[in-house]
Structure 1
Amino acid sequence: MSDTDNEKPKLGMRAPLGMKRTVETGKVKQSFSHGRSNTVVVEVKRRRMLGKPGEGEGTPAEQAKAETPAEVRPAPTRAPISPKAPPPPPRPVSESSLMSRQELQAKLLREAEEARMAALEEARRREDRERQEASEEEKRRAEENRRGEEEAVKRAAEEAENAAKRAAEEAAAAAKAAAQAAAAPAAPVAPAAPKAEAQPKQAPAAVKLSDDGRPAPRRFTPVQRPEPAKRPEAAAPAAAPKRPGAPARPGAARPAKGGDDRRQSGKLTVNRALNEGDGGARARSLAALKRAREKEKRAMGGFSHQQQAKQVRDVVVPDAITVQELANRMAEKGADLVKSLFKMGMMVTVNQTIDQDTAELLVQEFGHNITRVSDSDVEIDVDSDIDAEETLKTRPPVITIMGHVDHGKTSLLDALRGTEVVSGEAGGITQHIGAYQVKTKSGQMLTFLDTPGHEAFTEMRARGANVTDIVILVVAADDGLKPQTIEAINHTKAAGVPMIVAINKIDKDGANPQKVRERLLEHEIVVEAMGGDVQDVEISALKKINLEELIDKLLLQAEMMELKANPDRAAEGSVIEAKLDKGRGPVATILVRRGTLKVGDVFVVGGESGKVRALINDKGQQIKQAGPSVPVEVLGLSGTPNAGDTLSVVENEARAREVAAYRQQLALEKRTTSAPVTFDAMFSALKDKQAIEYPIVVKADVQGSVEAIVNALNKISTDEIKVRVLHSGVGAITESDVTLARASNAPIIGFNVRPNAKAREIGERDKVRFKYFDVIYHLTDDIRGEMAGELGPEAIETVVGRAEIREVFSAGKHGKAAGLLVTEGFIRKALKARITRDDVIIYNGEISSLRRFKDDVAEVRAGLECGVTFTSHTDIKPGDYLETFEVELRQRTL
């Protein structure tokens, strides 16, 4: 007997009438394979001894037996009862015993509920497995079996619940009997025979007493799994005494193997209930159960994509479309389309273009509907859109001022507007197209376009003539007609617009207006003063002479033309100028031709699209709308368009993007499509490659200036050297421009623009040249000089003498000497010489010695004979010819 056994609490150490809980619980951790573990609740039941006050609770061996767990206790033995012992006074039932019984009742109910839920879960899992693995016929039989099992499980759960209720009722009856016994101590109760577990409904009427008058040990009914074939006597306690004279110990018989259904075997949990049928296998998690259910649903067709109806789309197919774009419109994979084309015998990639017929086959194969469209369906047809006569209203005339440089075009516009535009132009020369409106004294509006007069802006003037109604040809009275004046006349005739000749500077000395009229006759311009139909006015823009007469003639001409437009429609206009503003983004100067352009309109212009964010008139004021013949600056473009592009307002942004993308695709195809290869083209290409390239990067403030500079530089290119524009654009010089120029060792030309701080820093570090200009004369002259410097000086060859070789003599160590007859010019020793035989050069070098008779001479003229020797050349025959020539290096010019 150990000291630990002596230190255990004993019933006799407490108050004589006290009652202590006879069941203590503990937890034991079980370890399994693969690192799994499980915590099991173990209950230890103490034997309660009812004796006289002051009696001990038995020997230490008996106490140790009482503390043995229920799972390992031997069958209880009944001690012999002495009949002569007087019955002890009944002990009152303590409140703690009643509380323990209530807790036991609640615990048994919980365990019964857990067992029922576990049985239902096990049945559901078994049903899932059977339904997944069985065929249709097997499923039907499995359904019948499942129903039977479900009923059996329900019956088992009900029996388990009834057993728990019966145990609770027995506990309540025992408590009631104990209370009655305490109230009536004199009434002896005969010991009742022990009842088998097969009669659970019969509750004991009183506490059982032993022969010595003590209450018999209480026997708890264990919670068991329902087993139909179980014998009632299986649960009966054994009566074999372990030791004679040992007191009786309550408890059940030792459980057999697999008897985990007894209450003493531990708490019944969900995991334990699920693992009973699997032999202790690891329980499946909720996530695993969920995945199994989803897998079953997929196998049974619950989430099958085949059941979803395929969406049929109306696919719009143009004349040519890439495979990837067609796949996007069909909402299909590009790889699937490529596979289908491979089956058709077409080896293509997703980026290749297919025709409309092939696209139709693909669309039909994938089950969609095709809608054929042509280029005319995508492009906006402006020419066929004609307004009805009743919708037209009078509009202001658009007047373009043309003429030679410094003949006073911008000064005339200043005088008409009352402003000073010239002061803002570099060198007093107009570099851009300006659009302005002037209100006359009668209240009528006139729209003026001021075009530059320099030859580099020929195309800008051509665009101005195409959008104009009346042309004012400004000719200086003291200077007469000049090349740009003649070009302006040709542009005006090509545009088919009327012309008014303004003979300017009549206030200057030497002005001769009549000479101007006579010179105009050379170009089939007959003014009214000479019997023609072209109006002419002698004016002075500086002194503001005869300006009113000019305005009157403009209004008369406009009235005769009956200029009308429909303002109540979607706007259309032409781009006069476009630029990239640092703070406002791409800005385009638009001249509205018809309709009314409003803030918020969605438009497409060239290959760009956008939405009108703001409209700014010629005075810098923001306006809400602009009608026909009104020039405005438009903000809200996606990029910088080209000058001369047409602006069209469309219904929505999708339409605008579609048209813009179509135009960009056409421009790309135009740039990348190669012409048919011919021998002439091949040789011309080889010849072009022989020319030296002069790379440059051009940046200007507006698009018109960029085009003018590029055209001017292309004109100064020659067969020996040509300009290669690496990049041209609108806006300030950026870091990317500097990087491009550095890679090609090209200068950067900035026309009215400057580099930003970062670009300037990179340029200084990488030694990139910046050239800034504000007048196009200086730009072309500087580039022309640099291109000539790239070629180097030009060698000019001049033949000074010719001679015929008559005889060949031996010259000793010098080889051979030739006897010559000078036929032209003269032969000089210091000159370069070449020998030709049948007009083929066989020697090119110098004359080493020149003699006449036996004397060395410096020069021999025509008609005389002489002898010469050549350096390291002896292949000389009679009949060859000798030429002497001089080489002069001159500075090359373009």
Structure 2
Amino acid sequence: MSDTDGKKTLGLRSGSQPGHVKQSFSHGRTKSVVVETKRKRVVVPKPGEGKGGSGSGRVTGDPSRRPAGISDAELERRIQALQIAKAREAEDAARRKAEEEARAKERERRRAELEAKEREEREHQEALKAKAEEEARRAREAEEAARKSAAAADPTNAAAAQPLAEDGRGGSKPGSGSRRADREAEERRNADNKGSKGAREASGRRSGKLTLSQALNGEGGRQRSMAQMKRKQERQRQKMMGKQDREKQVREVQLPETIVVQELANRMAERVGAVVKSLMNMGMMVTQNEAIDADTAELIIEEFGHKTVRVSDADVEQVIDTVEDKPEDMEPRPPVITIMGHVDHGKTSLLDAIRNTSVVSGEAGGITQHIGAYQVTTDSGSVLTFLDTPGHAAFTSMRARGAQVTDIVVLVVAADDSVMPQTVEAINHAKAANVPMIVAINKCDKPGANPDKVRTSLLQHEIVVEKLSGDVQDVEVSAITGKGLDQLLEAIALQAEILELKANPNRAAEGAVIEAQLDVGRGPVATVLVQKGTLHQGDIFVVGEQWGKVRAMENDRGERVKEAGPSVPVEVLGLNGTPEAGDVLNVVETEAQAREIASYREQAAKDKRAAAGAATTLEQLMAKAKADKSVSELPIVVKADVQGSAEAIVQSMEKIGNDEVRVRVLHYGVGAITESDIGLAEASGAPVIGFNVRANASARNAANQKGVEIRYYSVIYDLVDDVKAAASGLLSNEIRENFIGYAEIREVFKVTGVGKVAGCLITEGVARRSAGVRLLRDNVVIHEGTLKTLKRFKDEVAEVPSGQECGMAFENYEDIRAGDVIELFTREEVVRELN
């Protein structure tokens, strides 16, 4: 159709229009993108347009012009839908406008933040530049001052070395050539910087700081972030300052048979995560706390570029410093004196008199049951370290331990009691340890004291005192009156001077554990006598199968100290477990080394015990089981306050018993009685023995419910006596026979209903109806039994005295003859006791 006919020409209109959309990225960057916008065709009825008007097909309100089949209701519904669509479109447009305004505000806020950061960075750079210029100016001034001083010292040389610049008045100005050289160097640096900047721009790389315009109008795709650019600038700055990346250090890694992943990473100085990742790449899903074998660890070490040094498990102890001290490093140290002797000979009382304290009153039963370590300062200013050992027979190991760590032994012998068994034992310990001895004859104030008898008794044990022309010092003392104490201290000082005791305090500490206990409030506590070096608070150490870090130290007076030198006894806190008394304490460098050494020692001890248990044949096990069946056992559970007391109790229990009965210690330990101890005692039917300890609340309740007996002791005498009495109750009673008489058979009669009856004459003693009898023929026992009847004439009697005749008949035995002898006896049970 044409326009000349008054009608519009039909044609295709484009359904889309091009548009531009600006995309926003992180860090304030945006990008403009070309998009196409499609328009939605909306049919709106216009009044006055008919069905065949312009051919647009719009719906009108005139029924004659609307499309066929459209009712009024449908037309009204369509009009309402059109209005609703228009309203929704207007709402969407308003919401889009509000969102656009919010985005614009956010962009403004980000732009302001970036401008503030850029301004701060610029101010920082300007400050750094100003500082550098100031330092350069000061350096130039210092150099110029140095040249001036040199010129003043030697004008001819200064004139030859420094060219002079002519000024406007025909004179010369020193230093102008230096300023000209500085300007030329500055121009060269600027030219170099411009050249490098142009090269970077030519290569398409951005340099310098990231500006606001670059961040907002970045083109050319993805660009680097601000953080990445700062990291790059930092690397360049460090490179310009000469801080180059250090080369990777190749380490020699000591590798035992097994090693924990974290320890392997520490020895290589690598990150634990990198080591775990490398192991996962090898197919091993392990954590940092798991152990791997040496072959796998060697592969990891080679992968990280280090060298492997294979060591055995025993080599872990090589980190302990065993270097001999140089003579020039040695310094005098206080002597260690051990008080030894028989029980109740006054050892602790003598030490109390020296210390001016009262320790013996605090000991249960008035006897020492622990090793006490004390330091005493004499009137002359010399320091002495004393160890007080128990004298009871049960504490043999304690006395031996005291003799091993001592320098001088003071043998205390009571003047009214002379040499006793534990005195002899102390002499043997001192001889075995090869330490000098001083004899202190105590209790000289008593009326029955006889010091000469003590000196003579010591001759039997090869101890010749000075009064008897020997070389062993002897001093008569009294702990009550104080007599001879000064002479004793002088003798100790003289002996220490002869020994010339020295030690190196400036080295890693080494010491001996005198005693160990588990304190409820402080945990495991060890009494340590430092022998070499100085022990400081915070030192990491290994002692026996335990390790720890010195958390605190206390001296013999209960005061906190920061360090302990040679011959100083201290209580050490910070152990992970209770060590054995007698263990050696060594200070190591790292916690890992201490843990590794302690683990190795613990495993070695377990292997040793397992090997000792496995070193028996099947025949030996069967023979032992057979022997055990014939031996009655008294099981006990022992808990003590300190390690030495527990050790002494166990040794005493082993000595109780014979071939029929014995005491078996199921478990012994240090610390309070716990619920697990009660459970063990219940399973074995054993009592729990507490020595200077008590059961906690849960243990008491469990003992009451399960019927387990708990016995408390504070004196080792009472404990040993009670256990010995209980073990004696397991012994079978002894049957003893008491002879009461002899009878000679004169005639044998046959009695109806009774059998053969012997007519006897009581030749010795008496015959009783309840007695046992033996029939002797030619002094050979042919029958043993009981009497069936005992008659005197026709009457049954209970007893027939010597010299009288009687009739006897045996129970179930009739082979009797004239001339046989009847032996009469009684039996009684005697209760046996262990010696």
Q: Does the 8 A contact of 1:400 with 1:465 survive in 2?
A: yes
Separation in 1 of the partners of 2:745 and 2:70? 149
Equivalent of residue 49 in structure 2, options 48, 51, 54: 51
- 1:528 Cα deviation from its structure 2 partner: 0.8
- 1:698 Cα deviation from its structure 2 partner: 1.5
Q: Does 1:709 align with 2:649?
A: yes
Separation in 1 of the partners of 2:508 and 2:757? 92
1:270-289 deviation digits (Å, cap 9, x = unpaired): xxxxxxxxxxxxxxxxxxxx
Equivalent of residue 557 in structure 2, options 613, 616, 619: 619
Q: Does the 8 A contact of 2:631 with 2:660 survive in 1?
A: yes
Equivalent of residue 591 in structure 2, options 635, 648, 653: 653
Separation in 1 of the partners of 2:253 and 2:746? 94
1:512-548 deviation digits (Å, cap 9, x = unpaired): 1111100000110000111111000111111111211
SS at match of 2:471: coil
SS at match of 2:461: coil
Equivalent of residue 593 in structure 1, options 531, 542, 555: 531
Separation in 2 of the partners of 1:610 and 1:734? 24
2:255 matched to which residue of 1? 316
Residues 363 and 735 of structure 1: CA distance in aligned 2, closer, same or farther (over 3 Å): closer
1:644 matched to which residue of 2? 582
1:737 matched to which residue of 2? 677
Q: Does 1:722 align with 2:690?
A: no
- 1:877 Cα deviation from its structure 2 partner: 11
1:493 matched to which residue of 2? 431
Q: Does the 8 A contact of 1:47 with 1:66 survive in 2?
A: no
- 1:725 Cα deviation from its structure 2 partner: 1.8
Q: Does 1:440 align with 2:416?
A: no
SS at match of 1:722: strand
Alignment of 1:211-290 (within 5 A): none
SS at match of 1:479: coil
- 1:45 Cα deviation from its structure 2 partner: 6.0
1:276 matched to which residue of 2? none
1:474 matched to which residue of 2? 412
1:758 matched to which residue of 2? 698
- 1:755 Cα deviation from its structure 2 partner: 2.0
List gaps (5 residues or longer) in structure 1. 1-41, 70-93, 108-311, 338-350
1:212-247 deviation digits (Å, cap 9, x = unpaired): xxxxxxxxxxxxxxxxxxxxxxxxxxxxxxxxxxxx
Residues 794 and 558 of structure 1: CA distance in aligned 2, closer, same or farther (over 3 Å): same
Q: Does the 8 A contact of 1:360 with 1:370 survive in 2?
A: no
1:528 matched to which residue of 2? 466
Q: Does the 8 A contact of 1:803 with 1:881 survive in 2?
A: yes
SS at match of 1:62: coil
1:572-631 deviation digits (Å, cap 9, x = unpaired): 111111111111111000000101101011111111110000010111111111010000
Separation in 2 of the partners of 1:745 and 1:659? 39
Normalising by structure 1, report the TM-score: 0.58
- 1:883 Cα deviation from its structure 2 partner: 6.7
Q: Does 1:831 align with 2:829?
A: no
Alignment of 1:621-700 (within 5 A): 621-673=559-611, 674=613, 675-677=615-617, 679=619, 682-700=622-640
Q: Does 1:427 align with 2:358?
A: no
2:699 partner letter: A
Normalising by structure 2, report the TM-score: 0.62
1:152 matched to which residue of 2? none
1:892 matched to which residue of 2? 832
1:52-107 deviation digits (Å, cap 9, x = unpaired): 899714367625299999xxxxxxxxxxxxxxxxxxxxxxxx9x999999x99xx9
Max radius of gyration: which structure? 1
List gaps (5 residues or longer) in structure 2. 1-39, 54-59, 76-82, 97-250, 265-271, 285-289
- 1:647 Cα deviation from its structure 2 partner: 0.7
1:25-63 deviation digits (Å, cap 9, x = unpaired): xxxxxxxxxxxxxxxxx9996776743899714367625
Residues 700 and 878 of structure 1: CA distance in aligned 2, closer, same or farther (over 3 Å): farther
SS at match of 1:488: helix
Q: Does the 8 A contact of 1:44 with 1:67 survive in 2?
A: no
- 1:662 Cα deviation from its structure 2 partner: 1.6
2:510 partner letter: E
Q: Does 1:387 align with 2:387?
A: no
2:498 partner letter: M
Q: Does the 8 A contact of 1:315 with 1:363 survive in 2?
A: no
1:229 matched to which residue of 2? none
Q: Does the 8 A contact of 1:422 with 1:430 survive in 2?
A: yes
Separation in 2 of the partners of 1:543 and 1:729? 41
Residues 615 and 97 of structure 1: CA distance in aligned 2, closer, same or farther (over 3 Å): closer
2:444 matched to which residue of 1? 506
Separation in 1 of the partners of 2:760 and 2:318? 81
Q: Does the 8 A contact of 1:47 with 1:67 survive in 2?
A: no
Residues 44 and 845 of structure 1: CA distance in aligned 2, closer, same or farther (over 3 Å): farther
Aligned length: 599
Alignment of 1:576-587 (within 5 A): 576-587=514-525
Q: Does the 8 A contact of 1:57 with 1:63 survive in 2?
A: no
2:726 matched to which residue of 1? 786
2:712 matched to which residue of 1? 772
Residues 55 and 688 of structure 1: CA distance in aligned 2, closer, same or farther (over 3 Å): closer
Q: Does the 8 A contact of 2:320 with 2:587 survive in 1?
A: no
Quote the sequence identity (%): 56
Residues 551 and 665 of structure 1: CA distance in aligned 2, closer, same or farther (over 3 Å): same
SS at match of 1:711: helix
Alignment of 1:390-469 (within 5 A): 390-469=328-407
SS at match of 1:683: helix
2:630 partner letter: Q
Separation in 1 of the partners of 2:468 and 2:321? 39
Separation in 2 of the partners of 1:406 and 1:385? 43
Q: Does the 8 A contact of 1:46 with 1:66 survive in 2?
A: no
1:442 partner letter: S
- 1:494 Cα deviation from its structure 2 partner: 1.0
1:660-699 deviation digits (Å, cap 9, x = unpaired): 1122122222333323227566434422332222122222
Q: Does the 8 A contact of 1:604 with 1:647 survive in 2?
A: yes
Q: Does the 8 A contact of 1:801 with 1:883 survive in 2?
A: yes
Q: Does the 8 A contact of 2:342 with 2:392 survive in 1?
A: yes
456-465 vs 710-719, which moves further: 710-719
- 1:885 Cα deviation from its structure 2 partner: 4.4
1:564 matched to which residue of 2? 502
2:356 partner letter: G
Separation in 2 of the partners of 1:856 and 1:362? 99
Q: CA RMSD in A?
A: 5.0
Residues 762 and 838 of structure 1: CA distance in aligned 2, closer, same or farther (over 3 Å): farther
Separation in 2 of the partners of 1:792 and 1:613? 55
Separation in 2 of the partners of 1:387 and 1:802? 87
Q: Does the 8 A contact of 2:47 with 2:61 survive in 1?
A: no
Residues 867 and 598 of structure 1: CA distance in aligned 2, closer, same or farther (over 3 Å): same
Separation in 2 of the partners of 1:807 and 1:362? 102
Q: Does 1:64 align with 2:70?
A: yes
Q: Does the 8 A contact of 2:342 with 2:422 survive in 1?
A: yes
Separation in 2 of the partners of 1:836 and 1:667? 65
1:245-293 deviation digits (Å, cap 9, x = unpaired): xxxxxxxxxxxxxxxxxxxxxxxxxxxxxxxxxxxxxxxxxxxxxxxxx
Separation in 1 of the partners of 2:731 and 2:571? 45
Q: Does the 8 A contact of 2:252 with 2:309 survive in 1?
A: no
SS at match of 1:719: coil
Separation in 2 of the partners of 1:743 and 1:398? 46
Separation in 2 of the partners of 1:678 and 1:862? 62
2:143 matched to which residue of 1? none
Residues 645 and 689 of structure 1: CA distance in aligned 2, closer, same or farther (over 3 Å): farther
875-884 vs 371-380, which moves further: 875-884
- 1:733 Cα deviation from its structure 2 partner: 2.0
Q: Does the 8 A contact of 2:254 with 2:311 survive in 1?
A: no
